[in-house]
Structure 1
Amino acid sequence: MNSPLVWAHRGASGYAPENTLPAFKMAADMGANGVELDVQLTKDGEIVVCHDEKIDRTSNGAGFIRDYTLEELRKFDFCNGNIAFEGTKIPTMEEVFDLLEPTGLTINIELKTGEYFYPGLEEKIVDLTRKKGWLGRVIFSSFNHYSIMKIKELEPEAKTGFLYADGTLNMPGYAAENQVDALHPAFYNLQYPDYMDDCNMFDIDVNVWTVNTDAALLKCREYGVNAVITNYPKKAIELYSK
């Protein structure tokens, strides 16, 4: 039985501050196959890596990312309360590309365009991915499927996936109809009737979030998913090595 790929959720976020360079480096050092991260735009149009639209939870600042310039955001500490990483700054997407360039890792880039659309983000992230030579190592995903269609329009060769939560009818057929490469479901969606069979029939990869318990990690292997997105890559790698 083949084990899924292990993608570190917001980096190795179970061990280091999420969506930071230390978390991405730790994921690589642990032997993860890839990292998952979230991108948004600053007030001055820079692509930064952060999950929430506001910086309140993960930094010592407050307010929306889109209301700050990159220089202003750099003044805040993004250690997320973990004093071992005190002084950690919000990373740009370019810095993450540069950090992980030698590793061979995949990057799952989630566009955070669900709540706020960030006009121009799709163009900017495609341009940067091309410029850095990462097109073959990135998969773009979003809960905003219009964003993913825009990515495909801008770069037909881009690998893409639809993120979603629950309760949707015939997601494998929907993914196939829209010619995306993958579905990124919440773990509990795997139990829907014929889900994996239908994904396999349409040649749709299944990359599951967020899979942290031993039981769920083993269930994903049993289902035959392509990748698990987990806060604990070290644990997942050790479990799958048994």
Structure 2
Amino acid sequence: MTQIFAHRGYSASYAENTMGSFIEAEKAGADGLELDVQLTKDGEVVVIHDEKVDRTTTGSGFVKDLLFKEIRKLNANKKGLKKEQIPSLVEVLEWLQTNKLICNIEFKNGLIPYEGMEEKVIQLVRKYSLSERIIISSFNHYSIVYSYRIAPEIETAPLFIEGIYMPWIYAQSIRAKGIHPKHSAMSDNILFNTMENGIAVRPYTVNKEEDMHRFFNLNCQAFITDDPVKALRIRKQYEKK
């Protein structure tokens, strides 16, 4: 059965990439989470999507220019009543030890080449004995190839915006066990061929009901959505069949 990954947590209803959003995704019954990591000025791995803190927090400036203690003072729940901090990856991994969720960690190192990000994340994943439940993805495919080289036990999956010719061949060539394509950039035929060739397909970001039906019908390994509750409701129709 197609797994449901909560995109930046249950981001349709809660502040993205916050512990509140992750906890609510787990409570809702999601199979996994998708989150993004960057590095602070003093080298802490923090969970935030944008290179700057302006959109999602009360602060401003680049993550790379702020110290961890400065980042922790910001409110990552601008619209809500409850203050939420930007989580450290450590905080998320500690919490993951209390449940069985799969976690897709996306390296946000396409624009800013964070030095040592791969080593830091892998070291933490190993420290918390979570290698079996982590998937590392990135639009920076050099980064995930490097991650595979230093940690072949952790699954990698390249992200794509455009369609790619014979994506299973590409995935095999970089030793990735899965691919995370933009949901609209992949035909049913290519998706099916990719899975037939042993590569997991987890499209993003699948929010419309008709798109969810499409991927449940194709029985792809997973899809990534802002609204795990909607996805779970639709999946129930397929579980009865």
Gaps of 5+ in 1: none
Are positions 1:107 and 2:103 aligned together? yes
Matched residue, 2:19: 21
* TM-score when normalising by structure 1: 0.95
Provide the alpha-carbon RMSD of the alignment. 1.1
Matched residue, 1:66: 64
The letter for the 2-side match of 1:212 is N
CA contact (8 A) 1:20 1:91 kept: yes
Pairing partner for 1:199 from 194, 197, 200 = 194
Q: Distance in 2 between the 1:144 and 1:219 partners? A: 28
Question: What SS is found at the alignment partner of 2:217?
Answer: helix
Q: Distance in 2 between the 1:84 and 1:216 partners? A: 33
Q: Larger deviation: 14-23 or 217-226?
A: 217-226
Shift of 1:18: 0.2
* TM-score when normalising by structure 2: 0.95
Are positions 1:139 and 2:143 aligned together? no
Q: Distance in 1 between the 2:150 and 2:172 partners? A: 19
Are positions 1:38 and 2:33 aligned together? no
CA contact (8 A) 1:176 1:202 kept: no
Matched residue, 2:177: 181
Are positions 1:170 and 2:166 aligned together? yes
1:122-133 mapped onto 2 (5 Å cutoff): 122-133=118-129
Shift of 1:170: 2.2
Are positions 1:152 and 2:148 aligned together? yes
Q: Larger deviation: 45-54 or 172-181?
A: 172-181
Pairing partner for 1:238 from 211, 233, 238 = 233
Runs of 4+ in 1 over 4 A off after TM superposition: none
Question: What SS is found at the alignment partner of 1:83?
Answer: coil
Question: What SS is found at the alignment partner of 1:36?
Answer: strand
The percentage of counterpart residues that share the same residue type is 38
Matched residue, 1:119: 115
Q: Distance in 1 between the 2:23 and 2:205 partners? A: 20
